[in-house]
Amino acid sequence: MLIYKIFRTAEFQAFSQSGRSAGAPVDLADGYIHLSTGAQLPETLARHFAAETGLHLLALESDGLGGLRWEPSRGGQLFPHLYRELLATDVIWTRQLPLGPNGHLTGDLA
């Protein structure tokens, strides 16, 4: 199953340059990297990134991803949390997330 990480431009640039990331400030504060499933992504974007431009979406394969735990969060849903650095080798693809008139455009996440 694909799961997703959202980075702001500066976070994405730092990740691209170093090939690794301990995450965004919220990840550092919480001690793990926050990820979302495709079904959770629209609400994550609306709650935490509304009206932000310059976002980058990173797709990861959850199967075999070491350090991944599924833990209850928003409304009791199980969210994927990564308890280690995110590595460039974990990422299957990346794309920018444009901001449309009704929110961020995620397109086909396959």
Q: Is residue 9 part of a domain?
A: yes
Q: Is residue 83 part of a domain?
A: yes
* pLDDT, tens digit (0-9, with 9 covering 90-100), for 71-103: 998 888 999 999 999 999 999 999 999 887 777
Q: Is residue 8 part of a domain?
A: yes
Q: Is residue 61 part of a domain?
A: yes
Q: Is residue 36 part of a domain?
A: yes
In this prediction, residue 110 carries a pLDDT of 57
Q: Is residue 104 part of a domain?
A: no
CATH number at residue 51: 3.20.170.20
Q: Is residue 109 part of a domain?
A: no
Q: Name the 3-class secondary structure at 44.
A: helix
Provide the residue range defining the domain that includes 50: 2-99
The total number of structural domains in the chain stands at 1
* pLDDT, tens digit (0-9, with 9 covering 90-100), for 50-76: 989 999 999 999 999 999 999 998 888
What long-range pairs does 96-99 form, CB within 8 A, spacing at least 24? 96/54, 96/55, 96/56, 96/57, 97/6, 97/45, 97/55, 97/56, 97/57, 99/51, 99/52, 99/53, 99/55
